Amino acid sequence: MTDHLINCERWQEPISLLAAGCLPTAEEAEVRRHLAGCAACAARFTELAALCASVSRGRPSAAVQAAAIRDRWNGAALDVRPRRPVRHTRSLEVWLGGALAASLLIAALWLVHRRPGESPPVLREPWVAAGGAKSGTERAPLLPGPPQPLPNAPSAGGTQPTLRAYELALAQSDEAFEALLERHGESIVFEPYNPNSLLQESFP
Amino acid sequence: MNTNLPHDPELVRRAQNGEAAAFGRLVELYAEPLWRCARALCGEDHEAEDLAQETLVEAWRSLRRFDGRGRFLTWLYGILRHRFLKARRKWRRGIQADEETVERPSREAEPPAAAAQAEEARLVQAALAALPDEHRAVLELRFFAGASLDEIATLLGCPLGTVKSRLHHGLEKLRRGKNGVNLLALSGESPVSKT
């Protein structure tokens, strides 16, 4: 008996399912082969099959209840209306509208930012054109005014000295620089940006 | 079992188009298996009747949702389980069924053969009633309502493997007669092994 318990443990549930008539067909042949070779399992199967037949026969009659349900349904049928099918068109319209609006927004943003073949605008700082970097405190307005004639060479030919003129005066002597400042104040007119002239001045 | 029930897509289609008579025919076909399932779930006759009735009303109201891919009865089982869970919450709030109502209608006027059959039914029900609820429900659904294992899993909301296990253990308890009712005596079999 102990050997039967150990060896046939895995067959217990399939045998119960077979007796209850709900073992998959694919497994049935294997179980029946085991039953043919195991007397203890075969005896158990016989008991279970008889038990299942007894339970099936002993099922209570449901005729009274079924009739009552039918009667109640016939009485209630006139009062109950089937629900209308759920309409999905509204939600579909909302989704389509949202998708269209999102597409238009993305397209508009793309058009605004798209400049094929054109680099982004760069503001050239005038002191670069004038011959060198300056500290933040000396920075002049970004957009230079119109070129004005300077009296001294290398001025631009107007009344205001150029930055180059101040540099030359400073190289000459402090007094010349001071004199230039006294004459023209601190207003410096920047020359228009000209990379060639800048190179010539830097590397004469 | 349920496989004997006709599967009539045309009847279902007509009912889906609002033909009340077609659904009335479906009610005639499915009232009994539906009641048996409800009885297996809730374990009480009158509650089962209410449950089956509510299931049919709900099925009629939402009939257009049935897509015809599975069996109509399986679809009804899904509604039945939903209604059962709702009803169970209500019962747990204090509306308990009267124990006296479990008694069947009087059988005093039944002929002897019918009386013997009724006696067997009474013993079977007593044996099943003594089982734990989870085992009783599976056995009733299988042998009284004729539900397949998949349908039982749907109705009970548990995995297929659990259904198989409960069926096996429920049968084993009945076979051993540990619940005080020896059903094998009814079938003329004597227990040969108590494994």
| DSSP letter assigned to residue A138 | G
How far, CA to CA in Å, does B22 sit from each of A75, A83, B5, B54, B80? 15, 17, 16, 18, 20
How near does any CA of chain A get to the CA of B25, in Å? Answer: 10
The dihedral over CA atoms of A148, A153, A159, A165, expressed in degrees to the nearest 10, equals: 80
Q: What is the mean pLDDT of residues B119-125?
A: 81
Between CA B133 and CA B3 the distance in angstroms is: 26
CA angle B35, B40, B41 (to 5 degrees): 100
Model pLDDT for residues A114-172, shown as the tens digit of each residue: 766 555 555 454 444 444 444 444 554 555 444 454 445 444 445 566 777 778 888 88
With CB atoms and an 8 Å threshold, state whether B27 touches A69.
yes
Which residues 26-55 of chain B have a CB within 8 Å of chain A? 27-28, 31-32, 34-36, 39, 45, 48-49, 52-53
> Mind giving me the DSSP string for A50-83?
HHHHHHHHTPPP-HHHHHHHHHHHHHHTTT--PP
Nearest CA in chain B to A55: B124
Q: What is the ipTM of this complex?
A: 0.71
pLDDT band at B168 (very low <50, low <70, confident <90, very high): very high
The answer to whether A16 contacts B171, with C-beta atoms less than 8 Å apart, is yes
- Judged by a CB distance cut-off of 8 A, whether residue A39 touches chain B is no
* Tokens at A119, concatenated: 């680099």
Distance between CA atoms of residues A14 and A22, nearest Å: 9
CA distances from B145 to A95, B49, B59, B116, B191 (A): 46, 14, 19, 22, 27
Please judge whether B52 and A40 are an interchain contact, meaning their C-beta atoms are less than 8 angstroms apart.
no
How much of chain A is helix, strand and coil, in % rounded to 5? 60, 0, 35
Residue B192 has, within 13 A of its CA and on its CB side, a CA count of 13
Lowest mean pLDDT among A54-68, A105-119, A178-192: A178-192
> What single-letter amino acid sits at A38?
C
Cβ–Cβ of B62/A83 closer than 8 Å? yes
The pLDDT tens digits of the residues spanning A10-33 come to: 899 999 999 999 998 889 999 999
Number of A:B CB contacts under 8 A?
153
The torsion defined by the Cα of A74, A78, A84 and A85, in degrees rounded to 10, comes to: 10
Is the predicted pLDDT of residue A98 greater than 50, yes or no? yes
Average pLDDT, integer, range B68-89: 86
> Measured between CB atoms, does B162 come within 8 Å of chain A?
no
Q: Looking at residues B39-58, what average pLDDT do you find?
A: 87
Indicate the residue type of B162.
T
Signed CA dihedral, A190, A196, A198, A200: sign only: negative
Taking CB atoms and an 8 Å limit, are A65 and B49 in contact across chains?
A: yes
User: What is the SS3 assignment for B81?
Assistant: helix
Give the E-state strand segments of chain B in sequence order. none
Q: What is the pLDDT of residue B106?
A: 46
Instruction: Quote the minimal CA–CA distance from A98 to chain B in Å.
Output: 28
DSSP state at residue B157 = T
Candidates A51, A57, A80; nearest CB to B184: A51
Q: How far apart are CA B193 and CA A39, in angstroms?
A: 11
The helix (run of H) or strand (run of E) holding residue B4 is none
Of A51, A53, A70, the CB nearest to B175: A51
Local confidence band at B86 (pLDDT 50, 70, 90 cut-offs):
confident
